[in-house]
Amino acid sequence: MSDSSRVLLEVADVSKSVFGPEGQLDILSGVNLRVAEGESFAIVGASGSGKTTLLGLLAGLDVPSAGSIRLDGQPLESIDEEARAAIRRRLVGFVFQSFHLLPALTAEENVMLPLELEGDNRARERAHAALESVGLGARRRHYPAQLSGGEQQRVALARAFVHRPRILFADEPTGNLDQHTGEHIGDLLFEMNRQHATTLILVTHDARLAARCARSAELHEGRLGVPA
């Protein structure tokens, strides 16, 4: 990241601990990270290393036990959930390993959801265009159960990008897919990311997918290595 780049996400000395029957469990310790507007950044690491926990903190889905996270200048740890939700609606898109499509809604209706939350009266038109962009215009009236895993993830990509987020968080987006389908979804993810100039934060255990990002860092035992 160049010194002149505008920082969209800044993480300073973030830690996360939870308490259970055996006492305190430290999930993350002293994480520091700066990601510029439009940059792609991968967080890699083994299962259980804290990757998904960190992603949830970066997106404001949870708050750290210590430290600071600033998204577009807003300190996520010092504002309430309602304010964090407003920031997510305005700035953030999500892609998950398990798709998170609503089974009772068609592909088009799933993509329309974030637009309808914003009161967009062109929600259906924009959702149709988004599905066309991922090659699923003809399948827009199908329900998730009628789609393959790769098709469901394409619907999830269309939903994530339809409201033009400034930052996209992707949690193991190819983790539930076979290698061929996963590679296709990876191609589509990076193609759409370039088209929209979106900042991408990608969590993955797939080294090939991570290598496509501009920078990456390994999370090991709750600590983030120096970003490459």
Q: How many CB atoms lie within 10 A of CB 75?
A: 12
* CB-count burial class (<10 Å; 0-12, 13-18, 19+) for 19: exposed
Sequence ranges of the domains in the chain: 7-224
pLDDT band at 178 (very low <50, low <70, confident <90, very high): confident
pTM above 0.85, yes or no: yes
> Which pLDDT value is given to residue 1?
53
> Of 162, 223, 147, 222, nearest to 192 (Cα)?
162
> Which pLDDT value is given to residue 14?
96
How do strand 223-224 and strand 215-220 relate by DSSP bridges? antiparallel
Question: What is the token pair recorded at 155?
Answer: 């619907």
Instruction: Using the predicted structure, report yes or no on whether residue 132 has a pLDDT greater than 50.
Output: yes
> Of 72, 74, 70, nearest to 6 (Cα)?
72
Give the separation between CA 205 and CA 174, rounded to whole angstroms: 10
142-169 average pLDDT score: 93
- pLDDT tens figures, 78-125: 999 999 999 998 899 998 888 889 999 999 999 999 898 888 899 999
Name the β-bridge partners of 18. Answer: 25
- CATH of the structural domain 7-224, one choice from 3.40.605.10, 3.90.1300.10, 3.40.50.300, 3.40.50.1820: 3.40.50.300
CB 219 within 8 A of CB 49: yes
